[in-house]
Structure 1
C-alpha cells in the first residue's frame, strides 16, 4: 500500500493511506484586508462510502519546512486516523450554506448601493 508521510519542521504530523479514492495535499495562502495566513491540508475522499476525510489542517509560518515522503508499506500499523470525517450530505449542506451566505452578502452590497 502506498502511504504518505508528512512532517513539519521534522516533526511527524501524519502518516496515512487511502485504499480506494482520492487523497489531496494542498498549501493555501490567504491574504486580504483582515487575514494573512498560510495553511497546509491533507484530505481525501472515498467514493465507496461517500466520505470525505481530513487528516491535517494546520497553520504554517515563514521558514517552516514541510517534508512529504511517499512510501510502500505492507500493513496499516501506525497510520494516522482522520481528525474529521464528513458524509456526502454534510459536505453538500456546507456548500449550500456557503453559497447562501455569499448570496446574502452580495445582495446586501447591491442594496446598499441602491442597485436593487
Structure 2
C-alpha cells in the first residue's frame, strides 16, 4: 500500500477557497444592525458552507439576538441568505433554504460580489 500526500498551497490573494474575514465581519455586522426579531437563521451558498459557520461565529459573539442552531431552519420568522445571486440560491435548492419555507424576500444589502437577502413570512 502506498501513501499519497496531497498538498494545497493557500494563496491569500486568491479567494476561491475562503472568504476574507473582513467581508464576513462586514456582512455579519450588517445582519446585527438589521436587528432581527423572533427566530432567525443564516445560510450561504458561496463556497459550500450552508450552515454559515464563519458568519455564525460573528453573529453569536457579543449579541443578544442570536441565530437559531445549525439544524433549526424550519419555523423561522426570517432567514438571511448570503449569496452571489438569488438565482444561484434557488438553483442550489439547499435544505437550509428550502426548510425555512419563507417566501417573501428583500435585498437587504449589495456587497458587490455578494448579496444579502432576507426571507420572511
Higher helix share: 2
Higher strand share: 1
The normalised TM-score by structure 2 is 0.26
Where relative contact order (Cα < 8 A, 6+ residues apart) is larger, the structure is: 1
Q: TM-score, normalised by structure 1?
A: 0.27
Name which one, 1 or 2, has greater alpha-carbon Rg. 1
